[in-house]
Amino acid sequence: MLKPAKNQGTSVKQPHALSQWIKDHGLLLVNVGLFAVFFGGMVLSGAANYSEEQQTHGGSPVGVLEYLTTGHFVEAVFENWESEFLQMAMYVVLTVFLFQKGSSESKPMGKKAPQDEDPRDAKQTAKTPWPVRRGGWILKVYEHSLSGLLALLFLASFTMHAIGGTAAYNEEQLSHGLAEVSTWEYMASSQFWFESFQNWQSEFLAVAVLVGASVYLRERGSPESKPVAEPHYETGA
């Protein structure tokens, strides 16, 4: 009779701490990396474009660092950030109250979702977030902190768009021998609102397409999609 093999003392190799950390934060890291790449591309191409415009009007080209201080750069950055944060803030808030039957982007219909549970009734452990354990006004702020942060980022971006846009607008005014305007006057102009609305409309169109398309279309493996074999009328995760 064959004897069972002895345990040779081998052990499963544990993943390196750094590798595990990267795996745990892969989605965030890749998005931050893509942001850095595209932001760098925007800075370089924006500086080149701005320099070309300057030379066309008899001015001198500018370096990349100098370009970062121009209204052209500030307006271009925050005009886009403004629309992104508005979209996300509105989406977070709207999905609290509104539903879309069959969409993976909606909470389930006809039953309570885990997100609706009152944290005051939850069983607390050492892993429970500190604001929940603390309670009171701190918990009140914490349970709306996601939409609050996005709203603050929108307002900050909206303000910087106005400031940078005013600087860029006044530069254009001076090049044509016209008077400068204040930030409030610029914000009352059709140009400021055109810059805002042209971005806002595209953001909400993209959300509408995602919400509607996720009823009938699938992406296997993505949490933004329902399971491939799930019926169209099933709503939420």
Indicate if the alpha-carbon torsion angle 215, 219, 220, 224 is positive or negative.
negative
Res. 8: pLDDT tops 70: no
85 lies in the same domain as 51: no
Domain containing residue 195: 71-119+127-237
63 lies in the same domain as 89: no
Q: Is residue 202 part of a domain?
A: yes
pTM, two decimals, is: 0.87
End-to-end CA distance of the chain: 54
Give pLDDT tens digits for 53-96. Answer: 888 877 888 999 999 999 999 999 999 999 999 999 999 999 99
- Residue whose C-alpha is closest to residue 95's, from 103, 108, 104, 106: 106
Rounded CA separation 223/93 (Å): 20
57 lies in the same domain as 94: no
Rounded CA separation 53/55 (Å): 5
Give pLDDT tens digits for 14-25. Answer: 668 889 999 999
Our count of domains for the chain comes to 2
